Amino acid sequence: MNNLSLTLDDSALPVDTTPIKEARGLSLRGRAALVLEVIRGGLVELWAHKLRSFLTLTLLMLGVFALVVMTSVLDGVVDKISTGFSGMSWDGTLMVAPKAPETSEEQKRFAMSPGLRFEDLPRVTAPNEKVVAFLPRAMKRSSVRTVYGAERIFVNGVTSEYAQQMNRPVGLGRGITPDDQRRHAAVCVVGGTLGSKLFGGADPVGRDLVVEGVPFRIVGVQAAGMIFSDENYYDANGISIPLETYMDRMDADHKLASVAVKLASKKDVDEVSALLLGRIKQAHHGIEDVEIVDLQAEAAKSWANFMEQMRSWRIVLTSLAATALLVGGVGVLSVMLISFSDRRFEIGLRKAMGATDAQIFVQFLLEAVVLAALGALAGTVGGAFLCRALSDAFPYGLVVNPVGLVVAWIVALVLAVTFGMYPALKASRLSPMEAMR
């Protein structure tokens, strides 16, 4: 063995080792060429062991894919829910609704009141400078008949201001007008969901339908929207008719389901609430059989609960993605250790030719980084394609979250460096004599 070492040192390798030993003195272009050569060598090594490399790349790819898709989809969900909350138009809105008795005493007392009725409106909706609009609403479940059959629907009695103030835009035709209210016209606006069911999917505007023996002419179809409240659901799956028509032809008792009150300023909530309660008690013989709900406050609570759930989902999904990346990092360690065992002679030969410990260390570390980068690239491409495929399901589309993308790449590369450190140190500290023995 000593003769072999002398042969290697003195005669068998008459190669000029000066360029290798003086690598630190190379220009920037020369250093870049060395890095590219190391990367090329790493790719050749990966290609030489396809199955082993593929399994490791798959784990890294799944981790990056999960992080990219998770962050992007969760952002899309938040955007969608945010759009749904804004679509409810509950900002600065109070809701006056009948109160259910909680005790037998309240039940007896409430029986002495006629309840919230259409006749209460002149007193309850008296003009006030702090109120932008009063929006009474009546509602019942019924059946509608068309030439295509029957359908269970909700019949909603509303005013002409309701659609604009509560963000219920009309997609086809027109909405209810003040003239419809004055004439007690038998016209209706069909909800977006119901409109797609009636008449075999054809345009329903101008057609007739019959509710409880009363024919109604369809003058408009409500635009489709996301459903985030009971009122949204009733409107989308029913018809809206003039409130006066509803009282004349749908409900002899003239019961109201609610009265929405739009405020000029949210700071007036307490004052207007007290005002409304006073008016109701005057109309109901001093009985307070209604409740007033601050819809904006309720929406804020629901939003806070939703965001708390999203934080929990982020923790769970991030943990799953992190686990996949961690397993991928262990895969990098395994691959690099096997590579070290397979290339001991090569390492010894390079050191015998003048390669320094630092150069061997950097070579192995760069190969680990290349492995991680390939896995991260595959995960990024897969995640981007999935986000594009799901884009139509979200109101603002679904784009790759740049933060999630950057974090995924950083984590993958940091794991590659961390788990590639040990094989790189073993390779750099390997004695040429021991390696080539």
How would DSSP label each residue in 5-74? HHHHHHTS-----HHHHTGGG--HHHHHHHHHHHHHHHHHHHHHTHHHHHHHHHHHHHHHHHHHHHHHHH
User: By CB neighbour count within 10 A (0-12 exposed, 13-18 middle, 19+ buried), where does 368 fall?
Assistant: buried
Residue at 94 is within a domain: no
* Confidence check: pLDDT of 6 > 80: no
Token pair belonging to 273? 């609430």
pLDDT score recorded for residue 334:
79
Residue at 95 is within a domain: no
Q: Using an 8 Å Cβ cutoff, are 398 and 342 in contact? A: no
Q: Is the same domain home to 25 and 71?
A: yes
Count of CA atoms in the C-beta half-sphere (13 A) of 105: 1
Question: pLDDT band at residue 333, thresholds of 50, 70 and 90?
Answer: confident
Residue at 310 is within a domain: yes
Question: pLDDT band at residue 131, thresholds of 50, 70 and 90?
Answer: very high
| Residue 388, domain extent | 2-83+302-435
Q: Give CA–CA dist 391/358, Å, rounded.
A: 48
* Confidence check: pLDDT of 425 > 90: no
Strand 258-263 versus strand 208-211 pairing type = unpaired
* Confidence check: pLDDT of 151 > 90: no
Question: pLDDT band at residue 136, thresholds of 50, 70 and 90?
Answer: very high
Q: Give CA–CA dist 359/241, Å, rounded.
A: 81
Q: Is the same domain home to 179 and 269?
A: yes
Q: Is the same domain home to 310 and 221?
A: no
Q: Which of 17-21, 27-31, 391-395 has the lowest mean pLDDT?
A: 17-21
Q: Is the same domain home to 224 and 172?
A: yes
Count of CA atoms in the C-beta half-sphere (13 A) of 411: 26
User: By CB neighbour count within 10 A (0-12 exposed, 13-18 middle, 19+ buried), where does 77 fall?
Assistant: middle
* Confidence check: pLDDT of 435 > 70: no
pLDDT score recorded for residue 395:
65
- CA 163 from centroid of its chain's CA atoms: 27
Q: Is the same domain home to 30 and 110?
A: no
* Confidence check: pLDDT of 172 > 50: yes
Q: How many CB atoms are closer than 10 A to CB 416? A: 28
* Confidence check: pLDDT of 327 > 90: no
The last residue of a domain, from among 288, 312, 328: 288
* Confidence check: pLDDT of 153 > 80: yes
Residue at 88 is within a domain: no
Q: Using an 8 Å Cβ cutoff, are 363 and 391 in contact? A: no
Mean pLDDT for all residues in the chain: 82
Residue at 400 is within a domain: yes
Residue at 130 is within a domain: yes
More confident residue, 38 or 316: 316
Q: Is the same domain home to 214 and 324?
A: no
Place of tokens 């007036």: 268
Decide: helix, strand or coil at residue 229.
Answer: coil
Question: pLDDT band at residue 229, thresholds of 50, 70 and 90?
Answer: confident
> What residue ranges in 361-423 does DSSP mark as E strands?
none
- CA 291 from centroid of its chain's CA atoms: 34
Average pLDDT over residues 63-72: 84
pLDDT (tens digit per residue) in 70-84: 888 888 888 878 877
* Confidence check: pLDDT of 127 > 80: yes
Average pLDDT over residues 171-188: 94
**Alpha-helical runs (H) found in 146-294:** 162-165, 178-183, 192-195, 230-236, 243-249, 269-283
Q: Is the same domain home to 153 and 214?
A: yes
Q: Is the same domain home to 222 and 109?
A: yes
pLDDT score recorded for residue 295:
87
The last residue of a domain, from among 288, 318, 337: 288
Q: Is the same domain home to 215 and 327?
A: no
Counted domains in the chain: 2
Residue at 91 is within a domain: no
Q: Using an 8 Å Cβ cutoff, are 171 and 229 in contact? A: no
Average pLDDT over residues 243-263: 93
The last residue of a domain, from among 235, 264, 288: 288
Average pLDDT over residues 224-231: 78
pLDDT score recorded for residue 121:
92
Residue at 296 is within a domain: no
Q: Is the same domain home to 241 and 159?
A: yes
Q: Is the same domain home to 134 and 274?
A: yes
Tell me the C-alpha to C-alpha distance, in Å, between residue 376 and each of 57, 172, 222, 258, 421.
Answer: 8, 48, 46, 55, 19
Q: Is the same domain home to 117 and 250?
A: yes
Provide the terminal-to-terminal Cα distance of the chain, rounded to the nearest Å. Answer: 8
Q: Burial code of 148-187, b = ≥16 C-beta within 10 A, e = fewer?
A: eeebebbbbbbbbbbbebbebebebbebbeeebbeeebbb
Q: Give CA–CA dist 415/413, Å, rounded.
A: 5
Tell me the C-alpha to C-alpha distance, in Å, between residue 106 and each of 111, 112, 117.
Answer: 8, 10, 19
Q: Using an 8 Å Cβ cutoff, are 305 and 388 in contact? A: no
Q: What percent of the chain has pLDDT over 90?
A: 21
pLDDT score recorded for residue 38:
64
Average pLDDT over residues 206-228: 88
